[in-house]
Each structure stands twice: as structure tokens, then as C-alpha cells.
Amino acid sequence: MSVIIPAHNEELYIGACLDALLAQDSKAGPVNIVVAANACQDGTVSKVESRVAHARARGWNLTCLSIPEPGKLRALNRAEAILAGEGVRVFLDADVICEPALLGQLRNALHNDRPLYATGTLSVARPQTYATCAYARVWTQLPFVSGGAVGAGLFAVNSAGRKRWGKFPNIISDDTYVRLHFAPDERIEVPARYHWPMVEGINNLIRVRRRQDAGVREISRRWPNLMANEAKALLGPTLLTRIAVGDPVGLGIYLWVHGASRIRSSGREWTRGR
């Protein structure tokens, strides 16, 4: 199993991310971690290097690539270029915290000759602002998120699954691009959770939502055949009514962000979630 972590100025987050990986249970097996530090101007690289000995003591390998050029997709391609052989590949954002059973469950789920995609059960890290807390309460109830193997911040494929695409193209949404290479019955969500931080504040929520929508439009335009794998469940009237009655403020904020994000189109560049 290889874990690839693109990182751009992640000094405040990469340490906790790596510590959670190094605390995985024994079912994780041998793991090769590659951090692709791209255009970092902070202490990201030193944070990674300080954990190399810990990884080695566990029998794992931890490598830090210091890439001068910025760009998440370039970083992913550079990291994959140094990996030898095949095996499970996990693509992880540097600010995500994995619970101890996650890598082992991903390894088990992807132990198959059939092309497969897997992710953990997404848990939004505790928000710091009222708006994000309210938005997250509604977002996590959407059918696409609850049980939809959404893969935001963490997704994995087996060897057969990785052959579905070549190098990562220069796109906005790498997670959507990979997920849509797999039909719904090829996507697995394992029970172990991972904690994914949601951007804070109304304006940032709108900005990121625009970027996410632009990413889907880009894929739809460039690879229309992939959209047949979307199979996104709609928010039905029963669930909508339940949310409206139980959390009217949360629903109001969610709908405000949803509507405001469509007023002005986003650019095509990748935008970080923080």
C-alpha cells in the first residue's frame, strides 16, 4: 500500500496527518508514504522529515519530495512516478486525520482483481464558525454524502482500478475525476472514519462551492462519458421536510450558499479548501 499526500505550505496540518497514519493498526500492513511537498515556503518538509525515523521503526517507508513548482496535480504525478510496482494507492489530503482502522479496512476492501475504488466514512472536523457548523449539519445528511463513497480528501484504488486512467490531468477536481472512473457498484465506503476539515465562513463556503461546481462542469465537458457513473441521489421531499423541520437555520444557510455560488462562475484553477 502506498499513501500519496500532496502538500503546499501544510506546516500546521501535516504533522497530525502523518501521526495518525503512523498510528494505524496492524491490519494496515506495510505502507509506503510519499509526501509531495510542492512550492512550500514554510516548515512542511521539516515536519515530514522529523517523522522518517518513526516510520522506519515501524517498518514503513516515508519519503518527502521537495518540488519547486506549485500545483496539486503535478505533485500527484511526481509522487506516483517514484513508486515501484503496483498495489493499493491511497490519495490523501494533508489536513485529513485518519482513524486507526482505516488503512487496514481499505487494504481489505481493495484486495480484489476487479477494479475498485474505496474511501472511508467522511466525518467533518469540528467547525469553528457558526455558518460552517450549520452548513455541515445539512451537507452531511445529503444522500450523496451519507453512504455515497464521496471520497472528499481521501480516496483509494487497487492496481486494476489505477489502470482506469493515466497521469492526472490538469483539472480542478481530482477526487471527482477519479470517483467517476468507477461505477457505483465499484465504489466502496468502509466503516472507519476520516476527519476532513470544511472551510470556515459563508464567503469561503461560497467560494469553494463554486470551485466544486466548476470542477464537475469541467469533467462533464471534457469527459462526458464519465458522467454516466455519477448516479447522485437527489434530496427527496421526505428528507428535505425532515431537515426543514429539524434544522431550519442550517437548511437556510445551506440553500444560501448553494444559490449564491451560482451567481458568478468560478475560474478553472484549483483552490484550496482553507
Model confidence pLDDT, tens digit, residues 26-69? 999 999 999 999 999 999 999 999 999 999 999 999 999 999 99
3-state secondary structure the chain: CEEEEEECCCCCCHHHHHHHHHCCCHHHCCCEEEEEEECCCCCHHHHHHCCHHHHHHHCCEEEEEEECCCCHHHHHHHHHHCCCCCCCEEEECCCCEECCCHHHHHHHHCCCCCCCEEEEEEEECCCCCHHHHHHHHHHCCCCCCCCCCCCCCEEEECHHHHCCCCCCCCCCCHHHHHHCCCCHHHEEEEEEEEEECCCCCHHHHHHHHHHHHHHHHHHHHHCHHHHHHCCCCCCCHHHHHHHHHHCHHHHHHHHHHHHHCCCCCCCCCCCCCC
pLDDT band with cut points at 50, 70 and 90 for residue 237? confident
For the four alpha carbons of 19, 13, 98 and 230, in that order, the dihedral sign comes to negative
Residue type, 218: E
State residue 272's pLDDT score.
52
State residue 264's pLDDT score.
63
* Cα angle for residues 234, 236, 238 (degrees, 5° grid): 155
pLDDT band with cut points at 50, 70 and 90 for residue 268? very low
Total number of residues shown for the chain: 274
For the four alpha carbons of 270, 92, 134 and 179, in that order, the dihedral sign comes to positive
Q: Please name the residue that has the C-alpha cell 505502507.
A: 31
| Cβ burial, residue 98 (10 Å; 0-12/13-18/19+) | buried
* Cα angle for residues 194, 195, 199 (degrees, 5° grid): 140
Q: What is the arithmetic mean of pLDDT over 164-172?
A: 96
pTM of the predicted structure, to 2 decimals: 0.93
State residue 234's pLDDT score.
74
State residue 269's pLDDT score.
44
Q: What is the arithmetic mean of pLDDT over 117-122?
A: 97
Average pLDDT, the chain: 93
